[in-house]
């Protein structure tokens, strides 16, 4: 994380990217996260001290890399709710599908969705491989799986118009380089706005599952 980024910066960063009247939902989410983190380790305790930068703004930057007309989003391994819950707050006209298989995380996500009144969230409490595929406009994930595995698992949900926004930390360029050429050409690397050492893989198109041509 860049040393000059502050919680005030993160609040302003988010505020200018979302509809009026919903900003307070992030304040409520922060309270819920702190409360739940006393029961289960959703995020590291140290990151809660900079929750607006580390989790909220880090999720919010994803909207800068997609078309605003997007309808259905697929968030893989939603975990503590990032980026999926944050995106659902910011994009009330979109439908955010959260995929999480860990029981306690599923319970937390359901509680957060209900507490925040996020009618545009859909919870899938099972492994991605068990979900009947449906077309989505955007696929995103934060620390879900290595890139090649992520693409293979979610390929059935993609179309020629699907946009991929995948925060990958320091490993972004390395993981992209390791992809097969046909998939590698779909993506490019963008610098993270919240971490000078991190990057985001951005792409567009249909992924062909491994073994298919």
Instruction: State the DSSP code for 21.
Output: T
Is 2 a domain residue?
no
What mean pLDDT comes out for the span 29-35? 97
Is 213 a domain residue?
no
Q: In whole angstroms, what is the distance from residue 188 CA to residue 168 CA?
A: 12
- Quickly list H helices, the chain: 7-15, 24-37, 51, 58-60, 84-90, 103-116, 147-154, 172-177, 181-184
Host domain of residue 119? 7-204
1: pLDDT strictly greater than 60:
no
Is 103 a domain residue?
yes
Query: What pLDDT score was predicted for residue 67?
Result: 86
What mean pLDDT comes out for the span 104-130? 97
Query: What pLDDT score was predicted for residue 213?
Result: 47
CB 183 within 8 A of CB 150: no
pLDDT averaged over the chain? 93
Is 72 a domain residue?
yes
Percent of the chain residues topping a pLDDT of 90: 85
Question: What is the domain-level CATH number for residue 122?
Answer: 3.40.50.150
Q: In whole angstroms, what is the distance from residue 71 CA to residue 68 CA?
A: 9
pTM strictly above 0.75: yes
CB 174 within 8 A of CB 202: no
Is the bond preceding 133 in cis, omega lying within 30 degrees of 0? no
Q: How many domains, the chain?
A: 1
4: pLDDT strictly greater than 50:
yes
What mean pLDDT comes out for the span 16-35? 94
In degrees rounded to 5, what are phi and psi of residue 14? -70, -45
């Amino acid at each position: 994380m860049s040393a000059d980024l502050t919680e005030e910066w993160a609040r302003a960063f988010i505020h200018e990217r979302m509809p009026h009247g919903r900003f307070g939902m992030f304040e409520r989410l922060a309270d819920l996260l702190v409360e739940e983190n006393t029961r289960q380790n959703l995020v590291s305790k140290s990151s809660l001290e900079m929750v607006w930068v580390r989790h909220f703004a880090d999720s919010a930057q994803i909207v800068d890399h997609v078309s605003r007309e997007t309808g259905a989003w697929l968030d893989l391994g939603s975990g503590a709710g990032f980026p999926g819950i944050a995106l659902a707050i910011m994009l009330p006209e979109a439908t955010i599908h959260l995929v999480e298989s860990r029981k306690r995380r599923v319970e937390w996500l359901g509680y957060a969705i209900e507490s925040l009144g996020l009618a545009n969230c859909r919870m899938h409490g099972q492994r991605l491989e068990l979900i009947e595929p449906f077309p989505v406009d955007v696929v995103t994930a934060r620390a879900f799986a290595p890139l090649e595995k992520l693409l293979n698992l979610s390929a059935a949900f993609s179309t020629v118009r699907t946009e991929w926004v995948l925060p990958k930390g320091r490993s972004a360029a390395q993981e992209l380089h390791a992809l097969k050429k046909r998939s590698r050409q779909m993506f490019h690397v963008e610098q993270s706005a919240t971490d000078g050492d991190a990057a985001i893989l951005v792409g567009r198109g249909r992924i062909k599952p491994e073994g298919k041509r």
